[in-house]
Amino acid sequence: MTKKNWPGVIVGLLVPILYVSSVDAQQTSTQTAAPSNGTGTDQPNPAPAVSSGAFDADQLNAPSNNFMTNLPQPPVPPTLPDEIPRGQTVAARPHPDYDPVGVPVSSFTLYPNLILGESWNSNILGTKTNPLSDFISTIAPSMDLKSNWDNNALNFHFDDSLQKYAEHPDQDFNDYTFSSDGRVDVERDLQLFGGIGYSVRHEPVYSPNNPGVISPIFTTVVPEQYSDLAANAAIQKTFNRLTVRLDANYDKFNFANVTSTTGVPVQMSLENYDQELLTLKTSYEIAPLRSVYLLATYDWRNYEFPVDLTGVNRTSQGYTAAAGISYDLTGITFLDLYAGYLQQNYIAPLPSVSGPTGGAKLTWNVTRLTTVTANLAHGVAETILPGASSYLDTTATLTVDHELLRNLILDGYIGYEAQAFQGVSRTDDYYSAGVSAKYLINRHFWVSLGYTYMTRNSTDSTFDFNQNIILLSFSAHL
């Protein structure tokens, strides 16, 4: 399959989704929701409903190659009301007395939501000296429309996060997403998936991808906005215990031009690029809830212009080959682990990157009221740092969820991220920690209070900084 044929493949998969979905939409007698599939409705990751201004790797950089996915699993026996569903954390488990029921709309269910937030950030610009603090108000509406069909599925999503700074309005930003995804159940063992979406995100001013890293005359202290037009298509076939899935993903990143604090225009559009990704994954169920899998990916990162702001061509091609296991250890502990090799080839003089890659997720339901989750991932991501082709990104998090009361969820986490830039002698280490409490008032309201601390230690000490954030949020939903 050549890259030129991708648009036809995507359209070919999306058209039957919309056709079959329109037929099922008329069959309103079916009221049972279609079974969900963790990897089945691939869509652009929506922005967090409320961004506290803390470190967020998804906002800071373009997506890295993280291939941790949940394998399809057979049905499991019903659990008792007080038990945690297999594979779920305390925070994610259903709360029947407090979960929103949604609004029926023909054969769909509408889930509207509005979050209002007020936060205080001790260092909004992420500077080493003379930090600026501010209060930030957030308005974050979102809406999901999900089909209730026995077969096939069609979903629509919208979210928006508007943030207003009390004393520094030049830091205001508005992130939003529009997306749709669907599934066609051709047969019990054959499914087609597809999705399309458009999102707007921003680079924090302390990001290594801020144009100020190129030249002091480009120094800017405003968030850099970019858009992501994304589409995906997939086909999945099961042969008894063997499942084969092929995914095709496309992302088009466009960066908005800005004006520096020195009045110099910065043509960030020179950083525009397309990313295309093909992934083949085969998994074999060795026992119920226990599988092994192999995956292979190939990606193309094609820049729109011959050279970017640093005067180099950042177009590249790369691949990843890995093997993994998804294992239910004891019924209360779950492990998903993969390891392999990656290579990303850049045009000279930028150095190519190769080496091991991998990831892991361990979920441990210590008790029916406490869950511990550990995540680890390693991949390669894009950068505009002069002389660097990319950076190897390693992330690790440990989260503890505790249900103090049926309607009071406590959360604590610690996190670490290392960004090792390739071609230059710079490595940034991020350390973060936070706690929060979420009180479920009833089906229509909840309130939460949280605290986050983050610090960056760089081999270039001028980029070191600390940040403290306190966030109060209130949600209203149906």
Predicted local distance difference test score (pLDDT) of residue 40: 39
- Report the relative pairing of strands 333-346 and 353-367 from DSSP bridges: antiparallel
Tell which residue, 387, 463, 473, 435, has the closest CA to residue 161: 473
Predicted local distance difference test score (pLDDT) of residue 205: 86
The pLDDT-based confidence of 86 (bands split at 50, 70, 90) is low
Q: Give the pLDDT confidence of 129-170 residue by residue, as tens digits.
A: 999 999 999 999 999 999 999 999 999 999 999 999 999 998
For range 252-261, the mean pLDDT: 87
In this structure, what token pair is assigned to residue 432? Answer: 């973060």
Comparing 71 with 173, the larger pLDDT belongs to: 173
Tell which residue, 300, 298, 296, 299, has the closest CA to residue 321: 296
Q: How large a percentage of the chain has pLDDT more than 70?
A: 81
Task: Answer yes or no: are the C-beta atoms of 243 and 31 closer than 8 Å.
Answer: no
d(CA 299, CA 382): 13
Q: Give the pLDDT confidence of 198-236 residue by residue, as tens digits.
A: 999 998 888 888 877 776 666 767 788 999 999 999 999
Record the pTM. Answer: 0.79
Task: Answer yes or no: are the C-beta atoms of 204 and 61 closer than 8 Å.
Answer: no
Name the CATH topology of 3-477. Porin (2.40.160)
d(CA 406, CA 332): 20
H-state helical runs in 55-180: 57-60
- The identity of residue 276, as a single letter, is E
Task: Answer yes or no: are the C-beta atoms of 253 and 270 closer than 8 Å.
Answer: no
User: Under DSSP, is residue 443 helix (H, G, I), strand (E, B) or coil?
Assistant: coil
For range 172-185, the mean pLDDT: 97
pLDDT tops 50 at residue 400: yes
- Residue 243 host element (H or E): strand 242-255
User: Under DSSP, is residue 6 helix (H, G, I), strand (E, B) or coil?
Assistant: helix
The pLDDT-based confidence of 185 (bands split at 50, 70, 90) is very high
Mean pLDDT of the chain, nearest integer: 83
d(CA 141, CA 50): 10
Q: Give the pLDDT confidence of 294-315 residue by residue, as tens digits.
A: 999 999 999 999 999 889 999 9
- Highest mean pLDDT of the ranges 11-20, 124-133, 273-282: 273-282
In this structure, what token pair is assigned to residue 218? Answer: 């480009």
Predicted local distance difference test score (pLDDT) of residue 99: 92
Task: Tell me if the bond preceding 141 is cis, omega within 30° of 0.
Answer: no
To 10 degrees, the CA torsion angle through 380, 384, 387, 389? 20
- The identity of residue 137, as a single letter, is S
Exposure b/e, 315-340, CB count within 10 A at least 16 = b: bbbbbbebebbbbbeeebebbbbbeb
Predicted local distance difference test score (pLDDT) of residue 209: 85
Q: What is the CA radius of gyration of the chain?
A: 23
For range 93-98, the mean pLDDT: 87
Strands (DSSP E) contained in 369-426 are 370-381, 390-405, 408-422
Q: Give the pLDDT confidence of 349-373 residue by residue, as tens digits.
A: 999 999 999 999 999 999 889 999 9
In this structure, what token pair is assigned to residue 318? Answer: 């790369």
For range 252-258, the mean pLDDT: 92
Residues near 295 by beta carbon (within 8 Å), at least 6 away in sequence: 67, 279, 280, 281, 282, 320, 321, 322, 323, 324, 338, 340
> Tokens 């850099």, residue?
224
> Tokens 């007698």, residue?
29
For range 408-413, the mean pLDDT: 96
- The identity of residue 192, as a single letter, is L
Number of H helices and E strands in the chain, helices first, is 2, 21
Strands (DSSP E) contained in 148-241 are 153-165, 173-187, 190-203, 224-239
φ, ψ for residue 6 (rounded to 5)? -60, -45
